[in-house]
Structure 1
Amino acid sequence: MVEEKRFAVLIDADNVSAKYIKNILDEITNYGVATYKRIYADWTKPNTSSWKDVLLENSVTPIQQYGYTVGKNATDSAMIIDAMDILYSGNVDGFCIVSSDSDFTKLSSRLRESGMLVVGMGERKTPKPFIASCNQFKYLDVLAESENQIAADNSSGQRTDGSKTEGDSQADKTSKASKNSTDKNDKTMTDINTIKMAIIKMVNEIDDEDQSMNIGELGSRLVKRYPDFDVRNYGDTKLSKFLKKFDFLDMHTKGAEGTSLWVSLKHNPTEQESHAEAAKPAKTQKVRKRTYNKKKKTQ
């Protein structure tokens, strides 16, 4: 039996809503088991009341930290000190830092230097430096939208005459809301065109005769290059469905049982070049000034 990785889940209650608690704990189970579950805030403030009920239900330990000065956030320092104490205890294999605050960028980098697997979680508003400092980063609002979509799809149905039921109508509303949210111009989320360019480059660099790559390896490389890469950010639930959207990719199976999925570029150089050009940012052309030589007057 493979031993699960042990994680310390540290939550900044000042920058994360209580509605995401289930998404946080469910997501970390994909990586291992949460041995530490702590949340930091000044619990005397009224804006933390929404957390109090969910903490008991999910066995999360609240850490009280008073603000020493008005306008200063003392909870960040307490969270950073605890993280370093846990690191030196040697009891964990990774950390889950839950915050939309860039103040934890240095902490994340320091934990990675010590060989820790760092999973960051926050909303789309999270600054890019903190996202880049993590091994992987998950957008909590995207996770919540994806879960709501699945729940709406499961509750939907059709009548015998083929007309939509009320549940199905609700599923359509949820799908549209999720799509509109995903289609927004997020400054921090990795753009889909950047992902396309990376896939083309990765597959082109393969030295095999058929130039094909296992989709598991492709997904792993994309996460290493872009910590916030997650197919749910683009409205999909599986990597295979996400890759099928790209018409420049050919998906096929390999192996004796034919269960392993592989991708390769379609043998159409013109099409590949057009996708690569479409993904590149528009270049500004320099306008050359014309110079006119004045003719000398002859006397």
Structure 2
Amino acid sequence: MRAALYIDCDSIEAKAVPVIYEDIIRTDKLVICKMFNSDKDDDSFMESAGRFRIQDCMHGEYKVSSAMVALAVEVMADAALSKPERIYIATGDSLTVPLLNKLRLTDIEVVVAGPCDADKILVNSAQRYMYIDVLAGEKCTADIPDIGDIAKEIYSVSSYYKGQGRDAVMEQVYEGVVRRYPDFDVRNYGYTHLDTFVENNVSGVKVYTDENGVTKLTLVDDREEIDTFAYEYMTGRGYKIDDMAELLDAIRSRFPGFAMENYGYHTDYGFILSFSKFEIWENKGIKMKRTFKLSESGE
């Protein structure tokens, strides 16, 4: 993918430059590289940054000016004229937030590479946020999303595509999660591949590769397990509860990402009535049908 890199030298340490650069060129072709520094001691910064092979870029250059203003002007100009497919901005300064908001009006993906202690407003304004500390192989000190929340979101995205009649491509799952959690990166949790992360942390889904070599996620048919759990739950509650929401909440807690739509139901009533042993009472409660209650007592 054709990409552009803009480095705010006022908020990014020189030693981070080669780390960011090397990570980008693993997947993208850098056609624009620009650095912005309010400090006139540009030779010192370049030496500390290791000059990071900036000559490898098609239009590499080093710019010295009022950093933030110049950066914003150059990014918008290049977005309009050079039209890179992806823009990387290395910064820890939340003053770039208005620029990030403007870039959302374009069809260019924007990735911010910044420190772990960056303001959350910067992290959440990015389409994707990479922690420089993690790129450097160091432990991230940021308040990253809980792994359980990520697992639920992955299941939810997979459920959406299942509802559309197809399995989710892993790339679609990643994009869906990042829309909600811009700083999601499996490396934040000690993994190197998303499929490994999913296999170890997300229940109710299965990773597979189709005949075209595309990695996809499919939902595991766990209806039988849900039925067993629901019947055991009701038995433990004396065969009757006053509000069906109690059982639904218990199912959601036991099966992260549970959505009744995956089983063809769009109302609580319809889903509850799909259990052969249950009936609804007083319009919103659930009780075990007498036949099943007696048979289980006999056992």
TM score, norm. by length of structure 1:
0.64
**Counterpart in 1 of 2:95?**
103
Measured after TM superposition, the shift of residue 96 of structure 1 is 1.2
Cα separation, partners in 2 of 1:85 and 1:227, compared to 1, 3 Å:
same
Measured after TM superposition, the shift of residue 242 of structure 1 is 0.5
Q: Residues of 1 paired with 2:88 and 2:53: CA distance?
A: 19
Once the two structures are superposed, the pairs formed by residues 47-196 of structure 1 within 5 Å of their partners are: 49-52=44-47, 54-55=50-51, 57-59=53-55, 61-65=61-65, 74-145=66-137, 178=138, 181-182=139-140, 184=141, 186-187=142-143, 189-196=144-151
TM score, norm. by length of structure 2:
0.64
Cα separation, partners in 2 of 1:41 and 1:251, compared to 1, 3 Å:
same
Quick check: 1:190–1:229 contact (8 Å CA) kept in 2?
A: yes
Quick check: 2:90–2:114 contact (8 Å CA) kept in 1?
A: yes
Cα separation, partners in 2 of 1:76 and 1:246, compared to 1, 3 Å:
same
Residue number among 13, 16, 30 corresponding to 1:34 in the alignment: 30
Cα separation, partners in 2 of 1:23 and 1:257, compared to 1, 3 Å:
same
Residue number among 178, 197, 215 corresponding to 1:223 in the alignment: 178
Task: Supply the AA of the counterpart residue of 2:98.
Answer: K
Q: Residues of 2 paired with 1:76 and 1:247: CA distance?
A: 41
Cα separation, partners in 2 of 1:201 and 1:62, compared to 1, 3 Å:
same
Task: Supply the AA of the counterpart residue of 1:207.
Answer: G
Q: Unaligned regions of 5+ residues in structure 2, if any?
A: 230-250, 258-299
Q: Residues of 2 paired with 1:55 and 1:240: CA distance?
A: 35
Q: Unaligned regions of 5+ residues in structure 1, if any?
A: 66-73, 146-177, 278-299
The 3-state SS of whatever aligns with 1:115 is coil
Quick check: 1:213–1:264 contact (8 Å CA) kept in 2?
A: no
Q: Residues of 1 paired with 2:209 and 2:84: CA distance?
A: 37
Measured after TM superposition, the shift of residue 120 of structure 1 is 1.0
Quick check: 2:169–2:216 contact (8 Å CA) kept in 1?
A: yes
Cα separation, partners in 2 of 1:273 and 1:29, compared to 1, 3 Å:
same
Quick check: 2:199–2:207 contact (8 Å CA) kept in 1?
A: no
**Counterpart in 1 of 2:280?**
none
Q: Residues of 2 paired with 1:90 and 1:130: CA distance?
A: 25
The 3-state SS of whatever aligns with 2:201 is coil
Q: Residues of 1 paired with 2:215 and 2:131: CA distance?
A: 29
Measured after TM superposition, the shift of residue 21 of structure 1 is 2.0
Quick check: 1:200–1:265 contact (8 Å CA) kept in 2?
A: no
Measured after TM superposition, the shift of residue 16 of structure 1 is 0.8
Residue number among 4, 11, 15 corresponding to 2:7 in the alignment: 11
Q: Residues of 1 paired with 2:23 and 2:172: CA distance?
A: 21
The 3-state SS of whatever aligns with 1:18 is coil
**Counterpart in 2 of 1:249?**
204
Q: Residues of 1 paired with 2:181 and 2:136: CA distance?
A: 21
Cα separation, partners in 2 of 1:257 and 1:75, compared to 1, 3 Å:
closer
Residue number among 155, 173, 188 corresponding to 1:233 in the alignment: 188
What percent of counterpart residues are identical?
A: 21
